[in-house]
Amino acid sequence: MSELRRIAIVGSARTPFARGHTAYRDETNLSMLSTVLGGLADKYGFKGEKIDEVMAGAVIGHSRDFNLAREASLDAGLSPRTPGTTMQIACGTSLQAALVLGAKIASGEIESGIAAGSDSVSDSPVVFGTKFQRRMIELSRARSNGEKLGAFKGFSLGELSPVAPSVNEPRTGLPMGQHCELMAREWGISRAAQDELAYRSHQNAARAYDEGFHDDLLVSCAGLMRDNNVRADTTLEKMAAMKPAFDKASGHGTLTAANSTPLTDGASSVLLASEEWAKARGLPILAYLTMGRVAGNDFAHGEGLLMAPTIAVSELLARAQLSFDDIDYFELHEAFAAQVLCTLKAWADPQYCQQVLGRDAPMGEIDPTRINIKGSSLAYGHPFAATGARILGLTAKLLAGQAGKRALISVCTAGGQGVTALVESAA
């Protein structure tokens, strides 16, 4: 092909998101992903048909999830000829999946694709220590009773102690919340500013529900019809009463359960296609996925675990020859309110923009009224791998019917990475 094709966003579907160990305590990554893919197929009328590729993943995975995307596609009733690719890039998983599929559509390799993600903290894998794991492997390989008994030579009951699930960063040993506390301290982000951003997220999300914005985006799962974390009745006074969740001892902790995303279960999906494929089936084109960028930073040596999106966004806009003034809507994943505020402050800081982003001048400030106008992760929750597709689907609907509008998506991830995308209206 002589030129790249446009990547149409046809639409999306997601389960309502649920706080961990509540509505989806009996669900799994596979069951939730199957539910959402089936709901997407029903919504756009391709049940039993072949989609060129499903790309999905989970951050908290069992060994049984090794072929998650393929198994979910089959369980959802898609054609057995639909291939499935399982991938993972922490919280950016489903947005990265959309970028990869989008590149294949743009180049003509495929005509259609579904980007998706699913995560369950309620079904987190519980494993044993290395010593007992090795015994189990030896036992599975044993051929005689003597070899089976030999696998337990020197066994002690202490080996049965399970290893609790952990999201601590392997290179630092610190959880994401502690890293974000360090960022908030470095950038001078106050507790009051964090609570205000979280409050605004809940208010915007509640208003979006009242307006019916989510009516056609959600697929019921396990009897849940809407996200159970959105708090329309929360107040700044209630938030101010919360105790620090991560830095509990120093007296300087600012991150609380109110201004941090809760551990969440859920799944989401987005249908992408070439214009020809969508039009041939009479399907809508809500918006176009036009560009993406992934970046990493040296968080292990002080660059800030969740600051890599500043780099990704800077590189994306430089490539697109755009500035913040050219963007109508900003969809910034709210892992923590402090993360969003640190990012915004960095983009406006001359020294940071010069030394880290390689820019001659600051990128500038962003009008808060253009940020997460329908609420974001602090309100809806954050099933790690599902968040990117949730945001992409919401953004496409936000742009639908609006001529000449652009939206910028930014997602921070564990491991000091950031995934960002540019979406433009189809009208």
What residues are annotated to the active site?
A: 91, 382, 412
Contact 336/306 with Cβ under 8 angstroms?
yes
Residue 2, phi then psi, degrees to nearest 5: -80, -25
182: exposed, middle or buried (Cβ count in 10 Å: 0-12, 13-18, 19+): middle
Contact 272/7 with Cβ under 8 angstroms?
yes
Contact 267/295 with Cβ under 8 angstroms?
no
Dihedral, CA of residue 296, residue 299, residue 305 and residue 306, to nearest 10: -40
Q: How far apart are the first and last CA of the chain?
A: 26
The region, left, alpha or beta by phi > 0 then psi within -120 to 50, assigned to residue 347 is alpha
Strand, coil or helix: what is 267? strand
Contact 308/412 with Cβ under 8 angstroms?
yes
Rounded Cα distance, 337 and 412, in Å: 12
Dihedral, CA of residue 240, residue 241, residue 245 and residue 251, to nearest 10: 80
Q: Give the helix/strand (H/E) hosting 113.
A: strand 112-119
Contact 397/12 with Cβ under 8 angstroms?
yes
Contact 320/314 with Cβ under 8 angstroms?
no
* CA dihedral for 291, 15, 49, 283, sign (positive or negative): negative
Q: If you ran DSSP here, which 8-state letter would residue 15 be given? A: P
Give the count of alpha carbons within 13 A of 249, CB side only: 1
Contact 56/73 with Cβ under 8 angstroms?
no
Rounded Cα distance, 142 and 151, in Å: 8
